[in-house]
Amino acid sequence: MHSLPGGNGRASWRSLTPWLLFVLFVLGPCESLIPLVMVPAAAGRWLGVALVSVSFAAATLVTMVAAVAVGRFGVDLLPLGRLERYSHALAGLTILVSGLGIRLLGW
């Protein structure tokens, strides 16, 4: 059992699970949609369910495209020079390291 960093060794990572889930649900953007979708669905107002779902999907897509565009323009400002030649290999390495980190560290 892994102990928490900087702790006295008594607390485990598993004791943090309820708190992490609480923070995830409180700060997550989707949880506010539950009542906005369930109330019209319970009342049989399927147009309301569709409008909420479509607006959330559109807002999500616009936000994702904007974030990627800002990131892409930011990367274009970096003086990468010779690294551009290896950009695909570096992207693959990043994905590989992320996958290994998840698999080996159990995150």
In terms of domains, do 23 and 58 share one?
Answer: no
In terms of domains, do 66 and 96 share one?
Answer: yes
Average pLDDT, the chain: 82
Kindly tell me if the per-residue pLDDT of 2 is higher than 60. Answer: no
User: In this structure, is residue 36 part of a structural domain?
Assistant: no
In terms of domains, do 48 and 89 share one?
Answer: yes
User: In this structure, is residue 5 part of a structural domain?
Assistant: yes
Whole-number pLDDT of residue 89: 95
Given pLDDT bands bounded at 50, 70 and 90, which one contains residue 6? low
Q: Are 9 and 1 within 8 A, CB to CB?
A: no
Structurally, how many domains does the chain consist of? Answer: 2
Q: Are 51 and 41 within 8 A, CB to CB?
A: no
User: In this structure, is residue 37 part of a structural domain?
Assistant: no
Residues 25 and 37: their CA atoms lie apart, in Å, by 17
In terms of domains, do 7 and 59 share one?
Answer: no
- The range of the structural domain enclosing residue 9 comes to 1-31
In terms of domains, do 57 and 91 share one?
Answer: yes
